[in-house]
Amino acid sequence: MGHILIVDDDWMNRELLEAYLTMGGYTVKLANSGETALEMIEAEQPDLIMLDIRMTGISGFEVCMQIKSSEHTKTIPVLMVSALESEGDRMQASQMGADGFVAKPFNSASILEQIKTHLG
* 47-97 pLDDT tens trace: 999 999 989 899 999 999 999 999 999 999 999 988 766 677 778 878 888
Map out the domains of the chain with their CATH numbers: 3-119 (3.40.50.2300)
| Biggest CA-to-CA distance, the chain | 34
Q: How far is Cα 94 from Cα 108, in angstroms, rounded to an integer?
A: 22
Q: Residue 48: helix, strand or coil by DSSP? A: strand
Do 75 and 44 contact (CB within 8 A), yes or no? no
pLDDT digits (tens, 9 = 90+) for 30-42: 999 999 999 999 9
Which stretch of 11-25, 61-75, 98-112 has the lowest confidence by average pLDDT? 98-112
Q: How far is Cα 54 from Cα 107, in angstroms, rounded to an integer?
A: 19
Q: Model pTM?
A: 0.92
